[in-house]
Structures are given as C-alpha cells and as structure tokens.
Copies of this chain bind each other. A is one copy, B any other.
Amino acid sequence: MTARQLTVGLIGAGRIGRLHAHHLTMRLPRACLLAVADARAEAAESCARECNIPRFCSDYREILADPQIEAVLICSPTSTHAQLIEEAARSGKHIFCEKPLALDLETIDRALATVEQAGVKLQTGFNRRFDVHFRRVRQAVEQGEIGLPLMLHITSRDPAPPPAAYLRASGGLFLDMTIHDFDTARFLLASEVEEVFALAHALNEPDIALAGDVAHAAVMLRFASGAIATISNSRRASYGYDQRVELFGSEGCIAIDNAYPNTAVVSDRHGVRRDLPLHFFMERYAESFAAELQAFVEAILDDRPVPVSGYDGRAPVAIALAAQRSLQEHRPVSLREVA
C-alpha cells in the first residue's frame, strides 16, 4: 500500500472514540491514526494499546501541535466540542466532530466561522446517514422511486434512559436524542424545516421527570418543500432499540424496519416469534460508524466536500431549540424565531 494515507489524531477515548479508533486502524487503509489524547491519561493509554496507536497523551494540544497530523476526530464531551473545533481549525487540522456541535447556536456559529476562516473541512458525526437502510430511503427519493415526498414518519426509541446525571447535562430529549431524527428528516427530505410543534410527557418515568426532562415525545415538522414529518420518540422501549422510518410520496411509500440479529422465526404453541432487534446503537449502526469515517477520510484525501457539513451540524440544533420552545410555549414555533 504505497497510496497516500490521511494522518489522524483522536481527541477523546471514550466509547465512541474507541470505536472510531478501531475502525481507523482495522478497516480504513487510507487512514493512519497517529495519536490519541484523553484528559484521563489511562484512557488514552489503554486505547492506544488496544488499537496499536503509536502515541497517546492527556493533553489534546499535543495533537493539535503535531505538524504530522492532518485531521482530528473530536470525541470529547459535548461541552468541549466547539472550543476544540475552533482550536483545531486554527491549527489547520481538518475536523470530524461528534454531534451535537454545541447546545446553542451562538457557540456553533462562532465555531463554524472559525472553520470557514481556516479553510479546513468539518464533518459532523451524524452516522445514520451512512446506514444502508436509511440510504436506501434516500436513494428512493433521489431516483424518484416514490415520487414527490409528502409525509415522513420517524420512529426512534431507545431501549432505556441514560443515568440521571447524563440526562441533566444532555440538553434534554430534543437536543440529545431527537437531534438524530431531525437530521434524518432533513437528509431524507432534502429540504429545510420551517416550523416545529412538539408534545411530550414523562408518563411512567418519574426519574426522568425529576431530572426535568420528558421521556416520550411527538414532534411535527413542516418543511419548505411542503412535506410534513412526524417523529415518535421514547427513552424506554421495552423491546429494545426501535429505529424505523416511513416516507410516503406521491408515487409510493418506502418503509424501513428494525435490524435483527438473525432471521429466525420460531413457531410453537405460544405464537410465532422472533428475537428482539439489535439492542442499541453500537450494534444497530455498527457499519455506519465505519462508513462515515471512510467518507471523511476520502473527502479530505480527494479534496471533495464532506458529506455532512458543519451547517448540517447546526440545523438540527436549531430545530431542537424550536421544539423545546414549542413544548414550553405550547404553540408551533417557526425556525426563524430561533435561528
């Protein structure tokens, strides 16, 4: 392999950082992961050992200062994303940043401006765009298979809520969880959201209510194209991770189902049944995480636009903020009010 490789540094060696490290080293021959940084030095070290990364450090500035490194992956806590994006951009690094870029638009806008001034590329980590099932829906839209998109319905439920501490720092359901669905809706409809209406509650979930959040939500989106989307969220689906989409168009309808660990169907005297769907995002979207990194690596090496831009990272935050305001003020909220 004498082809040029993209040299990469990883900032943040938590669960998602390690997953990216694994993909970079095992599955992406066009990338070379040179260093990993984590404020917890032992996390950086164990990640480096596991994935054969040559260097590790506790200070991400070592990575930003390394002239050998062309691109960084920002996988640190959300509250640090924007600051790191700005510093990385000023260091001339291309950037892949996990979602959300930040929990407010001002911070995001400052970061995006810095990126633009620096002339580096920034890709936002909306991995579901790289899932084969979601891509198949997008393909149907692009190829006119279902005509003009009219109504979209997204079902998005987690198997169980995160711990209360996580909940409190998460920015709330819309910024933490629905943000993926807002991105999916924009991706599939290829149009911008103009208005949001949300209803939500914490029925049966006293801990979530105590944390000041909602557990189950329905959101309605009106798009510039005229299309309408409905989203059904829950923090707790007894049967596991529920990730489905149905897009109704003037010439047809396309629906994707959950992904299952196997196709087996068992019939016995109790009924006809199959095993539960893949349990959570690490299993359900495993391949999409590798694919989004591959797209990032190729966009930089081949100098093409990244497939999920910084603006794509900003838009769902704006929608989430509008959804929050809709819930609080109990009325439809125009995106112009928040953006």
Contact = CB atoms under 8 A, between A and B. Distances in A.
Interface residues of A, number: 74
A262 B273 contact: no
A248 interface: yes
Contact of A238 (B147, B228, B257): B147
B203 A222 contact: no
A1 interface: yes
B146 A203 contact: no
A250 B262 CA distance: 23
A234 interface: yes
Copies in the complex: 4
SS class of chain A's interface: helix, strand, loop or mixed?
Answer: mixed
A150 interface: yes
A192 interface: no
Nearest first, the 5 A-B pairs at minimum CB distance are: A252-B268, A273-B273, A239-B267, A257-B263, A136-B264
Interface of A: 1, 26-27, 49-50, 52, 132-133, 135-137, 140, 145-148, 150-151, 153, 155, 157, 197, 199-201, 203-204, 216, 218, 220, 222, 226-228, 230, 232, 234, 236-239, 242, 246, 248, 250-259, 261-277, 330-332
24 contacts: A1-B52, A133-B264, A136-B262, A147-B204, A150-B216, A151-B232, A197-B199, A230-B230, A238-B251, A239-B253, A239-B269, A242-B253, A242-B267, A251-B268, A252-B267, A254-B264, A254-B265, A255-B265, A256-B262, A256-B263, A272-B274, A330-B332, A331-B331, A331-B332
